[in-house]
Amino acid sequence: MFTIIFAAVFVLFSNEGEALQAERICCEEIESLLQNKTNAYKTVCLGPKSELSSNCCRNIETEVEKYRFAYKALCLAAEKPVATPLTTTTMTATTTAMTTERPIIKCKTALGVESGNISNIAMMSSTILNASSLPHFGRLRKQLGRCAWIPATSADRNSSWLQVDLGTLTNVSAVATQGSCSGDQWTKSYVIKYSENGVDWKHYGELGTIRVFTGNNDSSSVVKNYIKSPFEARFVRISPTNWHKNPALRIELFTDSCNPLSVPALQSPRSCLDHFKNGLKTNGYYNIYDASSNLITVYCDMTSEPRKAWTLVTSWATSNKDMAEFQSTPLSQDSPVDESSPNWNRYRMSLSMMNDLSAQSTHWRATCNFPTHGLDYTDYVRGKFVDFDVITFHGHNVCKRVEYVNIRGHKCSDCNLPWWQNDGQYCLHTDSTYTTCGFDPTQGAGGSEDNFGAYRTSNANFRCTADASTTTNWWFGGNTS
């Protein structure tokens, strides 16, 4: 009987120009069948013992959505969006009641986040919580532990984002989301931003308002939202606005095209410089490959200096300055710290990765407290590898040329500084109480004050060591053209 009912539903719905007679359908029975099918889908595809393939579950989900759409079309009154007037310059974000309304379309084809057709290097994020929440873990239906992107707790989470690079301008007409498979955490609502060039971004909106999409109410169910006015973009960002415990995301993007072009293969990036040349222009967490084609997540700075891109290679907070990896271990020794989870407070790449990056870089630099201050060239040093290889250098009070240095406001360009780096004694640093190389930053210096590393003696007036939370950040990179 139920089969006959639904056959009638789809005959009525598919015949264009014929009136839909909802009164001829037993809506209670349709609703009951829809609920049964939804529960069966959750059991066989989302249950802990599910062994069905993702393709099979995706097909089942599509069928369930068809029944749900038919029920809404035949048995429910159409819902109207709630609009908030625009200001003269900005959209106002509102959550509408239309989060699952399906436009009349021919196709709704997945673009490949779930399947892997969109590669790991095409997924990036503003921040990460830890090594289990990297951007490429945010794939719909990803299972087995590391199965969601989650932004850092220390950041402004309402401005965090998970980004997908589609490689070329692509029609985007729907988004599907899940929470984390490994914890009771999910995104309850989100907004979408998109860009053609990675620099100029727009919020997706309807009727003059930024649309806030309703997301998930558990960690496992898939919620698909249809976009009433599909847009063309190369870059798409999902930005959580409300969440349960943590804004965990697994996503898929869809297109109206019945035969979409395959996502272009991006040049395999070996550094943040390569990502910049591929068209990425935003700071954040990206994936690159090492010399052995292993995937490595790194933090990239694309914006602080004109025509330069930088990869973070080590960073530590003053509270961690006494760790051997940051005080007495030279860069030439392999001594990684949290290498799979780039962060500001205690992070150091492996030697092999540093060597790989240095071979593709023209410059190195050190910044102080970058996540808070950005770059204003205060307490900063930059040099060329050809003048001073900071990895291989070993010595004590050796003059080395730098392009620019600023220590507590004392600055010079194309000048020499004294440097130290010795096995078991000092990590790389300079000392602003010395004037042996011609540069004189001694005014205001503390006794034997270390700068940019080691910090056996530190000065609160030097930004890197102003307090226990301030950080020292070393980068490899160079010119983008």
Q: What is the pLDDT of residues 182-237, one digit of tens each?
A: 889 999 999 999 999 999 999 999 988 999 999 999 999 999 999 999 999 999 99
**Taking 60 as the threshold, does the pLDDT of residue 244 lie above it?**
yes
For residue 82, being part of any structural domain is answered with no
Q: How far is CA 355 from the centre of its chain?
A: 25
Say what the pLDDT of residue 320 is: 98
Determine if the pTM surpasses 0.85: no
DSSP characters over 264-294: PPPP--SSHHHHHHTT--S-EEEEEE-TT--
Domain boundary (255, 280, 314) is at 255
Let me know whether 333 and 444 are in one domain.
Answer: yes
C-alpha span between 225 and 387 (Å, rounded): 55
pLDDT digits (tens, 9 = 90+) for 132-148: 999 999 999 987 667 89
Let me know whether 69 and 96 are in one domain.
Answer: no
Q: Tell me which residue of 115, 197, 201 sits closest to 161, measured CA to CA.
A: 201
Give the residues across from 233 on adjacent strands: 170
Domain count of the fold of the chain = 3
Neighbours of 78 (CB within 10 A): 8
C-alpha span between 341 and 312 (Å, rounded): 12
Let me know whether 112 and 10 are in one domain.
Answer: no
Residues in CB range of 261: below 8 A, 6 or more apart:
168, 170
More confident residue, 144 or 165: 165
C-alpha span between 286 and 297 (Å, rounded): 6
For residue 155, being part of any structural domain is answered with yes
Quick one: angle between helices 54-75 and 27-46, nearest 10? 160
For residue 263, being part of any structural domain is answered with no
For residue 84, being part of any structural domain is answered with no
The CA–CA distances, whole Å, from 263 to 112, 116, 166 equal 8, 10, 6
DSSP characters over 176-214: EEE--TTSS-EEEEEEEEEESSSSSEEE-EETTEEEEEE
Q: What is the DSSP letter of 96?
A: -
Which residues form the domain of 415? 272-479
C-alpha span between 296 and 173 (Å, rounded): 31
Let me know whether 339 and 195 are in one domain.
Answer: no
Let me know whether 104 and 213 are in one domain.
Answer: yes
More confident residue, 60 or 476: 476
More confident residue, 16 or 443: 443
Let me know whether 341 and 455 are in one domain.
Answer: yes
Confidence of residue 81 (pLDDT cuts 50, 70, 90): very low
On the CB side of 130, how many CA atoms lie within 13 Å of its CA?
4
Q: Tell me which residue of 361, 370, 318, 322 sits closest to 342, measured CA to CA.
A: 370
C-alpha span between 467 and 461 (Å, rounded): 9
Let me know whether 316 and 397 are in one domain.
Answer: yes
Phi, psi of 52 (to 5 degrees): -75, 150
